[in-house]
Amino acid sequence: MVVGVLHIQFSLPSANNLKDKRRLLTSLLDRLHNRFNVAAAEVDQQDSWRRAG
């Protein structure tokens, strides 16, 4: 089993509320899982709708 850690922060200027942010992140995480078979999670900036980390 290979384990790696990568910390990325995104700026989401088109997100106007937490619902928009959740929709964008869910789409991105689903595409990552389907294309590369990796697991990812948002672990920081959960209360800010313009930033994801």
Q: Are 8 and 25 in contact (CB under 8 A)?
A: no
Which tens digit of pLDDT belongs to each residue from 15-30? 899 999 999 999 999 9
**Is residue 53 scored above 80 in pLDDT?**
no
Give me the mean pLDDT over the 27-47 stretch. 91
pLDDT of residue 13: 92
Cα 5 to Cα 3: distance, rounded to the nearest angstrom: 7
CB atoms within 10 A of CB 23: 12
pLDDT of residue 44: 85
Domain boundaries, the chain: 10-45
52 burial (CB, 10 Å; 0-12 / 13-18 / 19+) is buried
